Each structure stands twice: as C-alpha cells, then as structure tokens.
Chains A and B, each alone.
Chain A
Amino acid sequence: MSFSDVRPGDPINASNVQQVIDALKGTAGKGVPLSPTAVNNASSYALTVENLEATNSRALNVLKSDGSTLIKADATGVTLGSPITAPAASINGTALQNASVTNAKLASDTARLNLLTNGGFEIWQRGAGPFTGFGYTADRWQNNGQTGTSVSRDTTNQDNSNTCMAVTTTAASTLGAPSQILNPLNDLTRFKSLTFSFSVRLRTNVANAVRPFIYDGVTTTYGAYVAGDNAYHTASVTMTLAAGATVCQPGFNIEAAATTYVDNAMLVVGSQYADYAPLHPADDLARCLRYYELLGESQSGEIAFLGYGTTGTNGGQTLGFKARKALTPTVTKNGTWVVTNCGQPAVLATGLGAISTYVTVTATGAYNANNNAAGATVSLESNP
C-alpha cells in the first residue's frame, strides 16, 4: 500500500493522517517504509537523523527481524551486523588502524618465512632412492624406517615443481613416512612455546590414510586426513610447542598401504598455514649444505694429494666445506680412490668448516691420491 499524494485544495481526511501514522508506527499491512526518492536537492541529505542528547547521541538503530543489529550509529561510532558486504577494492588500507591486522587474519597466500630446509623436496644429495629403513632421503627429510616403506625421488607426479617425494607403503603403520627435525641446539631454544603451522601438498590413492603432524617431544598434534582421490590437496596442522619441547618435528603419517606423493611443505610461525613459496635455488641449496654436502662430486680428480715423500711419511691437506656445518660432522670417504705410492686418504681432525686429511706414503717417491674413480667423494653430515 503506497501513500496517496495530497494536492493543494484537497480535503485532509483522517485516513490520510492515519496512513502517515501507520507508516511511522510500522502497522502491519499499512504504509510503506520511508523512501524519499523524489528528493531533489544538491546540498541536503535525503535523510538526516540527529539526536541532540550530547552524551550518547543515539541517532540510528536499524534492526533485523530477529532484533539483532543491522546498523547502529551513536556516540561510540557505527556498529554493523554480520556479514559486512562491500564492493571489491572499496576499502582503502588507510582506514585500518596501524599494527592492528594480526597474522591469523592474513590468508594462506600471504608470503611467510618457511622454517623448513628443502620444503620443496627439490634437493636429493644422497641420490634418488629408493630408500628403505631408518635414514635420510631427500635432504633433511628423515624416514623412520617403518617396515614396508620405500621413499624415492619422483619427477613425474610433482605438484607444480621439478620433483616431489614418492612414498609407497605396503602395510598399515602408525609412523610410516618422513619428517623433518629442526635443530634442537640452534633452533629449538628460540622456538619453545611458539605456535607453528605446518602445511604440505599430499596426494594419495587411499582415503583416511595420510595426515600431517607436528611432534614436540611431548605430544603429537595431527591434521585431518587427505582425500584418497589421487589428487593433490593441501594438508595442514597447527600446534603450540610445549614449554618442555625437545624437538619441533613436522611430518606426515601414512597409516595404510598406499602410494603417496608429497610436495611443497611449509612450516611457519603462527596459527595460519602458508601456501608454498619456493626459495631461490641458491638459498634452497645453502640450507641443505648446512647439514650435508659432498666434496669432489662435480668432477673426478677434483681432490688430489700430490707430493714426494719417503716411506712412512705423511702428506696432508685441508679440505674446506662449501657451507659451515650445524654441528661437527661425520666424514665419509666414499669409494676406493686412485693412489700411487700412498695409502687411501684419511681424516686427521674435523671442524665445522674444514677437515684435515692426509695420506701415508707407502713407497719413497712421488705420491698421488685422487678421486678419479667412480663414486670417489667425501661426504660430510651433521644431523640434528
């Protein structure tokens, strides 16, 4: 029912006045909401409401049918009901109070610092596998040795990258897949009591088989299982480390016989997980070298001990590391090196940035030991 216009000279009937009263009172079935669309004035607002009471200045209160607030305007400001819908790109950042947007309010595509080493599973200095049993696989990713678990580098099923990790399990297990332990010496003391979010891209062919976790040495917190539809899904879990945490160990469990592909993992501080953001390849490799590196792998004969000696004397040299190690490393001379008039190279002492090595002369004359042989390298490994 709409209002009836009253023209000059028209008699004013009680029904006309009642029509206005009904509209103002909101009488059911009578009148219409105020809709002053015919206002034609460039300087005045179509509707202005002012409460002259100075303390509260309660000017406007618009309610939903259930009595909750749609719009309220008073001395405390403007309160709006939920949800607030605004046109795209219509809110200027200057409207926000400085330092008021928390990390949790930012979406997963916000770039965050990845605390993992080799989160993209791109670096496999120990080879492509398959790896079975307890030990390291892709750099920094440790397999716990569950029987029937095999881990390999995979270049066919990756998720928008060059490589991923393929894990096959042949039986149900409770701890069947790799995880990464942050260095308790250098890292954990700064991490205790912080909240971490771990996210990883997982693809598997069995439902309710694979889920992410974080373990802190006291408790394990799990994320949800990923679907078994053989498509990549982002799995995530958030955990606040206990004050007595001894490790910060994010990983993923594979709890059934399955084929699983793993790629692009992130561990960030805060309750919001982050989408994977790759490091520059140089930085990615540098992180890995802190824990494991090979010397002499790029060219046969790259490392050589040359000299002239008499039987029983020693010729030594210092081999510098590509990257300073997190801890004193285990040094492994791999393979049988080519030697003339001397024994195989041996280690004298190990440091964080270099090792002292030597050969012992076995026959007087020019001696030579070099790694010009298949698989002849030196590996350095310091694991947290």
Chain B
Amino acid sequence: MSVRPVYFNADGSVAVVYDELGHSGTIPAAEVFWLTNPTTGQDDHNYIVLDCPDGCGARSTHPVGGGADAPNVQEMFVRKVNLEGCACNVVVDTDPPPDAVAHVKDLVTAMDGAERWALDDTALLARLT
C-alpha cells in the first residue's frame, strides 16, 4: 500500500512495511518526520513522512486523515504528538495523552470529516499509557 506503520514501539520507533516491494524494518522515532515546507521551513502537522528502511528510495507522505491505512496512520500521528508535541505547539510533550488524541482527531476531522476517525479512544489511550 505504501511505506506504512504496522507496529509502534514504546521508544517511539515504528515498524513499517512497504508492500509493493515486500520491504520491512523499523524506523527510529527521530526519523518519523513531519513534512517540512521548503519555503518557510515550518513543519506541517497534517503530514508525516516515512522513508523505506530498506533504502530503496521509496518515501510515503501520510496525511493525518489516514490515507492508505487510517487506523495505523492516525495512531502514528497521535503517538508522535504525544511523544514530542505537535508541530504547531498546540499540544506539547508534557500534555496528557487525551490532549494528543483530541488534537489529532480535530486534524482528521478538518481534513476528511469526523467519520474518518478510525480509532477506539479508550483502547488507544490504554495503549498510550
């Protein structure tokens, strides 16, 4: 489908697969990037970029709405915001997990509508704590 997250580790690293070529691996938390506007230099909280760990050159830009895999992509955004705060600084890393969930849910709603939210909030919070 894309270079997509399939498992989230406690240290923020993300296990990914790249279906088209059957590649897989783990991306460190520091390499789960926000998309950066090349003109302003500002990070964009609507997109996360994942490079294939295989080094094949594939790069997926995931929208906060979920794109190819709504449950896992949305959880990836929540975990990143919860771990390091959002690119927009509305949520910072010291805020409690529900703030990260609420913020990402707002972004999802703005992008693809409220019905796009694909996660169970209770179960998600249990995984975050």
User: A interface vs B, CB < 8 Å?
Assistant: 126-127, 131, 133-136, 184-185, 189, 314, 327-337, 344, 346-350, 358, 360, 375, 379, 381-384
Residues 66-84 of B at the A interface (beta carbon under 8 Å): 66-70, 73
B1, CB-defined interface residue at 8 Å = yes
Least CB distance from A46 to B in Å reads 71
B17, CB-defined interface residue at 8 Å = yes
Give how many A-B residue pairs fall within 8 Å (CB-CB): 104
Q: Which of B20, B59, B68 contacts A382 (CB 8 A)?
A: B68
- Please state if A329 and B67 are interface contacts (CB–CB under 8 Å): yes
User: B interface vs A, CB < 8 Å?
Assistant: 1-4, 6, 17, 19-21, 35, 37-39, 44, 46-47, 49, 56-63, 65-70, 73, 111-113, 115-116
- Chain B residues with Cβ below 8 Å from A184 are 115
Q: Which of B20, B39, B59, B62 contacts A314 (CB 8 A)?
A: B39
- Please state if A314 and B38 are interface contacts (CB–CB under 8 Å): yes
- Please state if B38 and A344 are interface contacts (CB–CB under 8 Å): no
- Please state if B35 and A347 are interface contacts (CB–CB under 8 Å): yes
Least CB distance from A217 to B in Å reads 12
Q: Given that A344-B57, A379-B20 are contacting pairs, would A330 and B37 also be in contact in the complex, using a CB cutoff of 8 Å?
A: no
The contact sample of 23 A-B pairs, CB cut-off 8 A, is A126-B20, A135-B1, A135-B17, A185-B112, A328-B111, A329-B63, A329-B67, A329-B68, A330-B4, A331-B60, A334-B20, A334-B57, A335-B58, A346-B59, A347-B47, A347-B49, A358-B38, A379-B2, A379-B20, A381-B67, A382-B67, A383-B69, A384-B70
Q: Given that A379-B2, A381-B2, A382-B67 are contacting pairs, would A330 and B60 also be in contact in the complex, using a CB cutoff of 8 Å?
A: yes
C-alpha spacing A44/B2, complex, angstroms = 84
- Please state if A327 and B56 are interface contacts (CB–CB under 8 Å): no
C-alpha spacing A136/B16, complex, angstroms = 15
Q: Give 5 new A-B contacts, CB below 8 A, not counting A327-B116, A328-B111, A347-B35.
A: A135-B17, A136-B19, A184-B115, A330-B69, A382-B68
- Please state if A330 and B2 are interface contacts (CB–CB under 8 Å): yes
Q: Given that A133-B17, A383-B68 are contacting pairs, would A332 and B60 also be in contact in the complex, using a CB cutoff of 8 Å?
A: yes
- Chain B residues with Cβ below 8 Å from A336 are 56-57
- Chain A residues with Cβ below 8 Å from B58 are 332-335
- Chain A residues with Cβ below 8 Å from B113 are 185
Q: Of all chain A residues, which has the CB nearest B67?
A: A330
Q: Of all chain B residues, which has the CB nearest A189?
A: B115
- Please state if B20 and A327 are interface contacts (CB–CB under 8 Å): no
C-alpha spacing A126/B49, complex, angstroms = 21
C-alpha spacing A131/B17, complex, angstroms = 13
Counting from the closest, the 7 A-B pairs by CB-CB distance are: A330-B67, A336-B57, A330-B68, A381-B68, A347-B61, A328-B63, A332-B60
Most chain B beta-carbon neighbours within 10 Å: one of A350, A358, A360: A350
- Please state if A332 and B2 are interface contacts (CB–CB under 8 Å): yes
- Chain A residues with Cβ below 8 Å from B3 are 332
